[in-house]
Amino acid sequence: MRFDPTELAFDTNSLDAGRPFDAAIVGAGPSGSAMAILLARAGARVALIDAGRFPRDKLCGEYLSPEGVEAVERLVPGDRLARSGGRPIRSVRLTTPRGRTLEAEVAGPDGRVGLGLSRSALDALLLDEARSLGVSVFEGTRISGPILQDGRVVGVSGRGESGRPVAARASVVVAADGRHSAQIRRSGTTRARSLPGLRPRLFGLKRHLTVSDPASDEPSGTVGLHLLPGGYVGACRVEGGRTNLCGLLPERLSRQYRGDLDALADATFSGNRTLSALWQAAEPTGPWKTVAGVRVETSSPRLPGIFSSGDARGTVDPLGGQGLTMAMLGAEVIAPFVLRALARNDEGPAALRAAQRAWHARFDRRVTLCRAFHHALVQPSLIDVASLLGRWGNTLLSLGFAATRDPVRISC
């Protein structure tokens, strides 16, 4: 589906307005940038649009599983990932308020390790690769919704950084800017994957730290998951000598402390001695980042012409360390359907349903297992009991993390 290039309202100083886009991707995070790379490698003319400016910090656990590392290496050739300064991650340790500990190996069966890497560094790697392939990247451009024509999505519109209206039409639109984005709200439906009342409302918080006492920092090569009643705080080392602190806690705590996150941390983190020691030895290197209403959801497009990817397609409980991995692997799952739609000029309901089935077939088991992980691991008493099993408890935890991995390598 082509369009009149005179309808393109982006800044033509940085764009050849005489040619249309094959795909307009909204959201330049890991999934959107991965999708742009895959489509551009196949010869598509791609616009990648994001409301933010890069490099940017994001609320994220900043842990790449071994599968996630492999996905980045497929997307960003050469040794750029190795030169990023990310810290190898080989194990995870759980600590409880009673001082109990469980440890698990997270290295893959081939010995491949995970990586602690900031979102600003990861996003820059992927976005630079997309640009090198000729993807037109538009930063500071807030998309307000899809353009509809005869009941079909044919483009997107919004405003640029200066407030000037912008609009671009494309044969296919990909929403990769979150499940609550304007694209999803106006062209699809979102539903929760957990039963109401089964878990408290959670909010996420994140901050980068430098830790003055190495004995209080996370051990080298380890992700820490420090359990608290109803939630947890994770920590891992990333590049630049920093430690990323990121957690999920009940929203009632945010209300109780009136949004004063330093006071919340001082009071709440003391309930876990390992976490408290890390926090007391730390100096912040940036502000807190927060997000409310964290829950596992899945979205489905209901209009032809638009696909979804990343968090806009579905989310996963972060305790399994699969969020970033699913974002990039999800782009690999959906990209062939987008390319097929471009080749056949077919973005109808059947194509969307086929893409949805493929996503669910690939990730439903993983989402279910990570949900079970969440419910088990936010009950510190269960971990206390498991820790009494000694090495058998560690083995069970290792098997649990291994079960969330995809045993099949995907190539695109």
Domains in the chain, ordered, with CATH? 5-57+122-193+298-374 (3.50.50.60), 63-117+200-294 (3.30.9.100)
Q: Are 90 and 114 in contact (CB under 8 A)?
A: yes
Q: Which H helix or E strand runs over 121? A: helix 119-132
Packed helices 30-41 and 119-132: angle between N→C axes, nearest 10 degrees: 20
Confidence of residue 47 (pLDDT cuts 50, 70, 90): very high
At residue 302, the pLDDT reads 73
Q: Given the DSSP bridges, would you call strands 202-211 and 289-294 parallel, antiparallel or unpaired?
A: antiparallel
Greater model confidence, 310 or 279 = 279
Q: What is the percentage of the chain residues whose pLDDT exceeds 90?
A: 52
The pLDDT value given to residue 277: 96
Phi, psi (rounded to 5 degrees) for 27: 110, 115
- Identify which has the larger pLDDT, 120 or 394: 120
Over residues 155-174, mean pLDDT: 91
Dist. CA 313–CA 194, nearest whole Å: 16
CA-to-CA distance for 122 and 62, rounded, in angstroms? 9
Question: What percent of the chain lies above the pLDDT cut of 70?
Answer: 86
pTM (two decimals) = 0.89
Tell me the CA distances in angstroms from 394 to 67, 106, 385, 390, one per residue in order: 21, 11, 12, 7
CA distances from 317 to 110, 157, 199, 248, 372 (A): 25, 32, 12, 10, 9
Range 38-53 average pLDDT:
96
**Taking the alpha carbons of 129, 135, 140, 145 in that order, is the dihedral positive or negative?**
negative
Which residue, among 107, 65, 114, 67, has the nearest Cα to 88 in the 3D structure? 114
Which SS3 state, helix, strand or coil, does residue 61 take?
coil
More confident of the two residues 15 and 251: 251
* Per-residue model confidence (pLDDT) at position 28: 96
**Average of pLDDT values for 58-69?**
92
- DSSP characters for 218-248? PPTTEEEEEEETTEEEEEEE-GGG-EEEEEE
For the residues 198-225, what does the mean pLDDT come to? 89
Cis peptide preceding 55, ω within 30 of 0: yes
Residue-wise pLDDT for 97-119, tens only, equals 999 998 988 887 778 899 999 99
Amino acid at 318: P
Residue from 126, 119, 124 nearest 62 by CA:
119
Residue 393 corresponds to which tokens in the numbers above? 């408890």
Q: What is the pLDDT of residue 390?
A: 81
Mean pLDDT of the chain: 84
Residue 409 predicted with pLDDT over 60: no
Query: Quick check: 16 pLDDT over 90?
Result: no
Identity of the amino acid at 11? D
Residue type (1 letter), 252? R
With beta carbons less than 8 A apart as the criterion, state whether 364 and 315 touch: no
The pLDDT value recorded for residue 226 is: 95
What's the gap between Cα 201 and its chain centre? 20
- The predicted model gives 70-85 an average pLDDT of 92
Q: Please name the residue that has the structure tokens 């012409």.
A: 305
CA dihedral for 6, 7, 10, 15, sign (positive or negative): negative
Residue type, position 6, single letter: T
DSSP helix/strand/coil, 208: strand
Top mean pLDDT of 3-17, 74-88, 103-117, 398-412 is at 74-88
Secondary structure (H, E, C), 297-353 = EEEEECCCCEEECHHHCECCCHHHCCHHHHHHHHHHHHHHHHHHHHHHCCCCHHHHH
Q: What is the pLDDT of residue 280?
A: 96
Residues 6 or more apart whose CB falls under 8 angstroms from that of 331 comprise 31, 32, 34, 35, 38, 176, 309, 310
Alpha-carbon span 368 to 363, nearest angstrom = 9
pLDDT digit string, tens, across residues 252-270: 999 999 989 999 999 999 9
